Amino acid sequence: MIGFYKETDDVYRLRIPFENLYTSVFLIIADGKKMLVDCGTTANDVDTFIVPLLAELGVTLTDIETLVLTHKHGDHAGGLARVCEIAPNIEVVTDVRVLTGKISTYPLAGHTDDSIGVLDEKSHTLISGDGLQGAGVDKYRCNVKNKEAYLKTLERIKNDGRIENIFFSHAYEPFYKDFVLGRSAVENCLSECKKYVKE
């Protein structure tokens, strides 16, 4: 059943069908603020999934103060125009900054030059969008625009002791799940990502 499911105290995930895969939209509720990370592939995703499934949590799109776009690819940002039509006062964030308290955007250049994620220091969790690729997924094999920047991103995460869990937007291979939990799993993930980009 499709819905926003609680991943941490602050973070909910919605898996929206996309081709024969899915793409994730995250809802963060922290410090009295509500934020979305990514917005589906189309206006239809916003109307069919995001709006009614937020309503199940007692949240409207106009309650959302901030929309973080992890990058501008259509399966992550395709619903943007519709979100802004329904919630014209929403702040769209595409850069690195503190969002609230212990939540900030995080640089993840490589997949695209503008890729960012969201770091929740309370749960030590990084929402990575497509910022970490593994071997890719389905027909979308490891897709890195800037290899040098990607390798620097992997090293930055490796050296960042705040990150103990990672939530991906898709179930990347070879993980075959859309998360890794625990520091050793994070380090293995980074090693796998490095291996595939070097092939």
Q: How distant, in Å, are the alpha carbons of 7, 150, 183 from that of 27?
A: 10, 26, 24
Query: What is the arithmetic mean of pLDDT over 66-95?
Result: 98
Contact 144, 132 (CB under 8 A): no
Query: What is the arithmetic mean of pLDDT over 14-34?
Result: 96
In the chain the beta strands, taken as DSSP E runs, fall at: 4-6, 11-18, 21-30, 33-37, 66-68, 91-93, 98-100, 103-107, 116-120, 125-129, 136-137, 140-141, 165-168, 179-181
Domain count, the chain: 1
Written as six digits, the tokens of 74 are 């259509």
What does the pLDDT look like over 83-100, one tens digit per residue?
Answer: 999 999 999 999 999 999
Tell me, what's the pLDDT at 36? 98
Mention every residue, 6+ apart, whose C-beta is less than 8 A from residue 167: 7, 11, 13, 24, 26, 125, 126, 127, 128, 178, 179
164 lies in which domain range? 4-198
Q: To the nearest whole number, what is the mean pLDDT of the chain?
A: 97
CATH of the domain at 50: 3.60.15.10
Q: What is the spatial distance between Cα 1 and Cα 107, in angstroms, rounded to a whole number?
A: 33
pTM: 0.97
